[in-house]
Amino acid sequence: MRRLIIIACVCLCSFGLYAQNYNELVEEAMACAQKDSLARAEQLFREALKLDPKNARNALLFSNLGTVLKRQGKADEAIEAYTMALNITPYATAILLNRAALYLDKGLLEKAYIDYCNVIDLIPEEKEARLFRAYIYMQRHQYKEARIDYNVLLGKDAKNKPARIGLAMLDQKEGKFIAARDRLNLLVEEYPQDASLLKMRANVELEQEFTDMALLDLEAAAKLDPNDADVYVMMGDIYVRQKKKHQARQAYEQAIKLGISALQLEEKLKEVR
């Protein structure tokens, strides 16, 4: 009897030490992640998972491991870690969103689409999922579906900037240039320091053959963001259409100074010699 009691005590002590080691590994891993000691954090998370592969907390550990791997640029391993977490907790929307974002970065649109759909099934008004699913629909030329997602976002927040930009892009793709420009006019008025909106409006104006208006917008964009080389490429292209070779050459040369490859603009420069 005494021997059985001793064995039980030893087992209990071993279990306590085992649990303590697991918790200590997790705590140290979290601390390393917060300090940007990412390689060490990855090692500790893996050790904890190996130590207790059936622990109920492992979904969170796999998720944290995925984030650490993502921060190290190890996208494939991060996806694998998030997938392991989802095998344990398949309805964790935060993990679904993290994996979807990596799929999107890798150009795996169909896999990202499935994750975003699963999130929307769980939380129909989830902003990130709606926004990026709309983006995927646009890549597929499913404009009606994309418009639905953007309108859901605007139904909750009429000032949602990305959704409003998305609708302007949809209008442009569908040839609704007046509607697109009207939306962008409002956005430019509300966000006068956003050079990207001026570039977008210039693109719409070019579709309408309003080259002078497009130039005005691009000049304003250049003042807001003097280091944006693409603005000068766009300006050069407009000057070419207007048969203003000297101005076009100056614009292209400025784009090269700002970082555009001379090889990339070689053909354009030949046109304006």
Amino acid occupying residue 30: M
Arithmetic mean of pLDDT, 46-56: 89
Least confident of 45-54, 82-91, 93-102, 149-158: 45-54
Arithmetic mean of pLDDT, 167-177: 97
Q: What percentage of the chain carries pLDDT values higher than 90?
A: 84
11 or 223: which carries more pLDDT confidence? 223
pLDDT higher than threshold 60 for residue 16: no
pLDDT higher than threshold 70 for residue 19: no
CA dihedral 161, 162, 165, 167 (to 10 degrees): -110
Give the mean pLDDT of the chain. Answer: 92
Alpha-carbon distance of 46 to 51, in angstroms, equals 9
Closest of 184, 186, 229 to residue 204, by C-alpha? 184
Element (H, E) at 243: none
- DSSP state letter for 125: T
Q: What is the pLDDT of residue 15?
A: 40
Q: What is the pLDDT of residue 146?
A: 98
Q: What is the pLDDT of residue 14?
A: 41
Q: What is the pLDDT of residue 20?
A: 56
pLDDT higher than threshold 80 for residue 1: no
Alpha-carbon distance of 38 to 32, in angstroms, equals 7
Arithmetic mean of pLDDT, 230-248: 97
Arithmetic mean of pLDDT, 38-55: 90
Query: What is the CATH architecture of 22-211?
Result: Alpha Horseshoe (1.25)
Amino acid occupying residue 194: D
Beta carbons of 67 and 78 less than 8 angstroms apart: yes
- Which residue's structure tokens are 């940007």? 36
Alpha-carbon distance of 265 to 273, in angstroms, equals 13
Q: Where are the domains of the chain?
A: 22-211, 227-273
Beta carbons of 179 and 194 less than 8 angstroms apart: no
pLDDT higher than threshold 60 for residue 255: yes
Arithmetic mean of pLDDT, 256-268: 95
Distance of CA 148 to the CA centre of its chain: 20
pLDDT higher than threshold 80 for residue 13: no
Token pair of 246 as six digits:
């000297």
pLDDT higher than threshold 80 for residue 17: no
